[in-house]
């Protein structure tokens, strides 16, 4: 009897830990232990790998009088999930002498079924990326993970369907063909047929605000009566965002892989996440028993849309304070601390009151409606108080929508005159891309003339802007200047930025 050593890995949060699997087999009555601070899925792995080894043509560990100890090191790191199954099975067969495994440049990752088949595991892109960086040369993993894993070059990926395929490859009985590197082909921006700004009539003020938000990556809130197009505008918003770069594609795909929601395709477009208003704060920000990424992290490099914003639990809304400010979120639990990325554009949509037709709210400033509000003052106040001041402060732009006249739908929809039709998403997106590029090229050249600065300070005092609001509004003004291809932040840029600022409720 002997000791063997193989390598596997796990993802905790956004961090990858390389795990050393040591297997010791000694004489004695039958016993089988998996040690190393593993969770329930890890301790149950001894039954999965025993059945898989038997169905791969070897004698099951449970049919032998021997003492088997599998250690997952480092011992002080909690091990979670079934990702170690393949490595433990290979380590056991190596310890029994059924195969020779002396290579310390090979990593194994994958869950085993009882019949010995390999199942997909989450976070494989992060694991392969870390393994390649550390210096591993080869990795065996489930075929279902191969396409995703092959986004990383510099490491040979062997996709397998069963444990027996891996064993036969190691024993040189057969050869697994390495997975070809997955090439990222940047394609033109794709959009659904029914998702284009050209199909949305009216709401020019909201479209302009969304264009500014896209160009400067600003958070934005839209308020208005039901049926004014708030949700439609938000869902169409991704069509005016620039396509993801290759680095961003890898970054977003890695996040979705860790969350276990990626399929056979990589994430090519900016993600759009829209949780229901009954969602808990954990589902929004992440955490829980397994410390999974939340909705705001899944929206990384894309859009995080909260429809019916005040209907969310107030505590859930307030947990967004840190990620909206820092573009990342740090979750601390008894298990440890994890930081997830959350660099997304936040969009909120809401009614001015519970019934949706208030016309006297100072907080949301809706335009008069032809329908009468039936909410009491108490109901209106409670509705408004669900959104705290710190959250309001972190939203850069506030837009009020009103009802669109019916004749606009009938006349513009059927006209063949292209000048009367709304602008398409393609045209708006080109301006957004151009504005972002202008900002990068002239980053250190922007300036505010004394006259414009004095005007801004005067209005900031009148609106009682906080320090944060002051700086955020100035950023919006700079974005407007970028859209106008101006390095000078002029009066008109500042005045337009100020009109999107939320007013103080005491005014």
In the chain, domain spans? 3-170, 197-441
Q: What is the pLDDT of residue 187?
A: 53
Beta bridge partners of 11: 16
Establish whether the linkage from the previous residue to 98 is cis, with ω within 30° of 0.
no
pLDDT tens, 207-220? 999 999 999 999 99
Q: What is the pLDDT of residue 344?
A: 97
The C-alpha atoms of residue 92 and residue 32 are separated, in whole angstroms, by 11
Is residue 104 over pLDDT 80?
yes
The pLDDT > 90 percentage for the chain reads 74
Q: What is the pLDDT of residue 356?
A: 86
Residue 53, number of CB atoms within 10 A of its CB: 27
Residue 26, number of CB atoms within 10 A of its CB: 13
Q: Could you tell me which residue, 186 or 347, shows the higher pLDDT? A: 347
Superfamily designation of domain 197-441 = P-loop containing nucleotide triphosphate hydrolases (3.40.50.300)
Q: What is the mean pLDDT of the chain?
A: 90
Beta bridge partners of 359: none
Is residue 193 over pLDDT 80?
no
Opening angle at CA 304, ends 301 and 305, nearest 5 = 150
Is residue 469 over pLDDT 90?
yes
Is residue 340 over pLDDT 50?
yes
Ranking 303-307, 419-423, 476-480 by mean pLDDT, the lowest is 419-423
Ranking 127-141, 175-189, 229-243, 490-504 by mean pLDDT, the lowest is 175-189
Pull the structure tokens for residue 54.
Answer: 């038997």
Beta bridge partners of 292: 287
Q: Could you tell me which residue, 484 or 1, shows the higher pLDDT? A: 484
Is residue 376 over pLDDT 50?
yes
Pull the structure tokens for residue 479.
Answer: 């974005």
Is residue 126 over pLDDT 60?
yes
Element (H, E) at 452: helix 450-462
pLDDT band at 369 (very low <50, low <70, confident <90, very high): very low
Average pLDDT of the residues in 444-452: 95
The C-alpha atoms of residue 363 and residue 372 are separated, in whole angstroms, by 18
Q: What class has domain 3-170?
A: alpha beta
Average pLDDT of the residues in 52-76: 95
Residue in 307, 234, 235, 315 with CA at minimum distance from that of residue 277:
307
Instruction: Provide the pairing of β-strand 66-73 with 345-350.
Output: unpaired
The C-alpha atoms of residue 200 and residue 222 are separated, in whole angstroms, by 16
Please, is 350 exposed, middle or buried when counting C-beta atoms within 10 Å of its C-beta (0-12, 13-18, 19+)? buried
Q: What is the pLDDT of residue 361?
A: 40
The C-alpha atoms of residue 297 and residue 304 are separated, in whole angstroms, by 9
Is residue 428 over pLDDT 90?
yes
């Amino acid at each position: 009897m002997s000791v063997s050593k193989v390598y596997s890995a796990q993802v905790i949060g956004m961090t990858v830990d390389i795990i050393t699997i040591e297997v010791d087999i000694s004489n004695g009555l039958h016993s089988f232990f998996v040690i190393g601070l593993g969770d329930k899925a890890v301790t149950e792995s001894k039954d999965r790998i025993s059945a898989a080894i038997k169905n791969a043509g070897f004698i099951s560990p449970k049919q032998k009088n021997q003492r088997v100890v599998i250690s997952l090191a480092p011992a002080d790191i909690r091990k979670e999930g079934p990702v170690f199954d393949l490595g433990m099975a290979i380590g056991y067969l190596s310890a029994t002498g059924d195969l020779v495994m002396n290579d310390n440049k090979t990593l194994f990752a994958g869950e085993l079924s009882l019949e010995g088949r390999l199942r997909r595991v989450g976070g494989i892109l992060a694991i392969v990326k870390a393994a390649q960086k550390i210096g591993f040369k080869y990795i065996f993993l489930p075929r279902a993970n191969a396409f995703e894993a092959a986004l990383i070059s510099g490491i040979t990926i062997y996709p397998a369907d069963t444990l027996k395929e891996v064993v036969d490859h190691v024993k040189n009985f057969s050869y697994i063909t390495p997975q070809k590197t997955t090439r990222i082909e940047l394609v033109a921006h794709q959009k659904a047929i029914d998702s284009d700004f050209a199909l949305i009539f009216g709401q020019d003020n909201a479209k302009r605000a969304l264009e500014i938000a896209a160009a400067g990556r600003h958070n934005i809130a839209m308020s208005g009566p039901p049926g004014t197009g708030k949700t439609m505008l938000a869902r169409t918003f991704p069509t005016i965002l620039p396509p993801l770069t290759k680095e961003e594609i890898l970054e977003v795909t890695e996040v979705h892989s860790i969350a276990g929601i990626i399929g056979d395709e990589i994430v090519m477009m900016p993600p759009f996440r829209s949780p229901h208003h009954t969602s808990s704060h954990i589902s929004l920000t992440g955490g829980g028993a397994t410390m999974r990424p939340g909705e705001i992290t899944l929206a990384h490099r894309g859009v995080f849309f909260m429809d019916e914003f005040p209907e969310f639990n107030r505590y859930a809304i307030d947990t967004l304070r840190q990620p909206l400010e820092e573009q990342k979120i740090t979750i601390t639990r008894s298990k440890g601390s994890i930081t997830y990325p959350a660099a997304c554009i936040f969009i909120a949509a809401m009614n001015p009151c519970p019934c949706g037709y208030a016309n006297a709210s100072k907080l949301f400033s809706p335009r008069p409606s032809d329908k009468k509000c039936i909410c009491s003052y108490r109901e209106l106040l409670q509705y408004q108080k669900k959104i705290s001041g710190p959250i309001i402060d972190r939203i850069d732009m506030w837009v009020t929508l009103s009802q669109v006249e019916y004749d606009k739908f009938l006349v513009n929809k059927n006209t063949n005159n292209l000048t009367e039709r709304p602008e398409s998403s393609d045209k708006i997106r080109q301006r957004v891309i151009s504005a972002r590029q202008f900002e990068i090229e002239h980053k250190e050249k922007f300036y505010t003339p004394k006259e414009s600065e004095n005007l801004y300070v005067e209005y900031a005092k009148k609106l009682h802007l906080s320090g944060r609001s002051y700086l955020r509004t100035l950023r919006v003004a700079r974005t407007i200047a970028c859209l106008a291809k101006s390095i000078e932040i002029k009066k008109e840029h500042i005045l337009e930025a100020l009109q999107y600022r939320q007013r103080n409720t005491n005014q």
